[in-house]
Every structure is written in structure tokens, then in C-alpha cells.
Amino acid sequence: MCVRTLVGNETMLLDSKKKSGKLSRAKEKYTKLHEEMLEKEELLRQREQERNALYLADNVLTASTVHYSLLLKKLTKYYEIVGHSKAFKILFHTTQPTHVIVIAAVLFVASLLVSTKGKAQASSYSYSRITSFIYLASFVIHFGAQIWMTFVSGLSLYFALPRHAFGEVQRVLFPRYFTINACLSLTTLLIFVKHHPTCTWDAEIAIQVGAMSGAFFLELLIRLYLTPPLLQLIVLKNNLERAAGVGNEIGGYNTGPLKNCPHYLKIHQAFRRVHVSVAMGNMLTMGCTILHLYYIASKLCVL
């Protein structure tokens, strides 16, 4: 009777161990499944957040584009209204305002170069970081715009677009390019001269002031005197070429039936003269900018 009791107890112990082992395995199994479900839910939550972020960014971009387009339309309407006024026609359709702007620019730069005691005393004070930031930013943006417009944008578009399409792009970019560059050159010159009064000049600083002044006046003269006739010649030239069925070649130039047209050849020669003058002026301003870049590099104290 004792033996049976022992055997029964051992059997019960074995059964309980088997049951506990099955329960532990089942518990581990369901724990793993629960962890996997949690990981999947977290992954789905992250993907949903990414989608919401992209959707929000897309909505912001779309809304900003729409508002910018509406602003441009309003400005265009206002420009059309102002364009019919007498003052606008005097300012932009005659040469007298151009001469006034040039004279004002010359007088302004000349006034900067006049040394006074107040300017000499002001130079002893250190300029703020904001002034240094504006000076470097104007110079860097100026030099970057020159490199991009001359060696990247111009060449890339010339060999990728039909000639008339390339001309239309340049017709839009040229006025903005020289206007922005002239403003940036003047900003750089203004801060540099304020920091280096005439009484403190040596040969090196005088060369830098001359280079920056030359870049500013070249860009201003190109914008005021060469860009408007260049744009008019582009329009006349393209109209004649469209009528003759040429101008869609890429990376080349073909006059087609216009090669014996004296009127077209006269317009084309005038266009070439003005375009070459603009290109040479642009290269000269770039040389002045590179000269000032060399000066800045020689004065760096962070390397």
C-alpha cells in the first residue's frame, strides 16, 4: 500500500512538471507573439507618423506656392497699372533717368571715399558680427551667382534647350542677374570702405577698393545701358527666325534661309556686339571678385 502511494505521488509530480513545462512554453510563445504584435504596431505607428509628416509638408508647400502665386499676380496687376502712368514712362522709357542713376551712384561712391575725422575715429571701434555677416554674405552670394550664371546655368541650358527657349530664359535672367550683382557689389564696397577709411589706406587696400568699385560700376552700366538693347535685339532676332522656321536647334546656330537677309544680318551683328560686350564686362567683374576673394583668403585667421 505504501509502494502504490509512492508510485502515485511520483506520477502526479511528473504530470504536474509536464503541465508546468507546457504552461511555460505556452507562456513564452504567447509572450513572443505579444512582443511581435507590439513591434508591428510601433512600426505601423511610425509609418503613419511619417505619412502624416509628408502630407503636412506637402500641404504647407502647396499652400505656400498658392499664396506666392497670388502675390505675384497682385504685383503683376499693380505693375500693369503703374506701367501706364506718365511717371513710369519717363523713368523707364527714356534715357534721362539712367544718366541720373549713374551720376547718383558716382557721387555716392565718391562720398564714401572722402576721409573725415569722424570716419577715422569710427574705424577704431570693432564692427559687430552682424556687419561682418552682411559683408561676407553679400560677397559670397555675389561670387556664387557669377560662377553659377557663367559656368553652370548658361552652359548647361545652352546644350540642353532649343536656342529660342534658351534665349527666353536668358532674357528673364539677365536683368535680375546684373541688378542683384550691382546691389551686392555696392553692399560689399560700402562695408569695406566704412571699415577702412581713406586715411588708413595702403596700396593693397587701394587696389581692393578700386576692384570693388570697378565691379559695381561695370555691373551697373551693363544693367542700365547694355541689357535693355540686348533684350530688344533678342526679341527682334527671334521673331525673324520663327518666321523663317529656324531657332529650335540645340547647342548650335543655324540661320537657314536668313543667311542672305541683310536686315537679319544687321540685327544679328548688333546682337553679337552687345552680347560680347556684356560677356566681357561680366568676366571683368568676375576678375575683380576673384581679386577680392584672394584678399579675404590672405586675411583669414581661422585656418
Q: For residue 102, report the phi and psi dihedrals to the nearest 5 degrees.
A: -65, -45
Q: Residues near 193 by Cβ (< 8 Å), separated by ≥ 6?
A: 112, 113, 209
pLDDT band at 258 (very low <50, low <70, confident <90, very high): confident
* pLDDT tens digits, one per residue of 50-81: 776 666 656 666 767 777 777 877 877 776 77
pLDDT, residue 197, reads: 80
Report the distance separating Cα 247 and Cα 261, nearest Å: 16
Report the distance separating Cα 300 and Cα 293, nearest Å: 11
Cell numbers linked to 44: 505601423
| Statement: residue 220 has pLDDT above 50 | yes
| Statement: residue 17 has pLDDT above 60 | no
C-alpha distances (whole Å) from 80 to each of 51, 72, 168 are 43, 12, 21
Q: Hey, which residues does 162 pair with through a beta bridge?
A: 250
- Higher local confidence (pLDDT), 67 or 253: 253
pLDDT, residue 62, reads: 72
Angle, CA of 69, 229 and 283, to the nearest 5°:
90
Tell the burial category of 172 from Cβ atoms under 10 Å away from its Cβ (0-12, 13-18, 19+). exposed
pLDDT band at 272 (very low <50, low <70, confident <90, very high): very high
Question: Chain-wide mean pLDDT for the chain?
Answer: 80
pLDDT, residue 125, reads: 44
Given a contact cutoff of 8 angstroms between Cβ atoms, the answer to whether 191 and 296 are in contact is no
Average pLDDT value for residue range 135-162: 92
Q: Residues near 258 by Cβ (< 8 Å), separated by ≥ 6?
A: 240, 241, 244, 246, 264, 265
Q: Which amino acid, 192?
A: F
pLDDT, residue 187, reads: 94
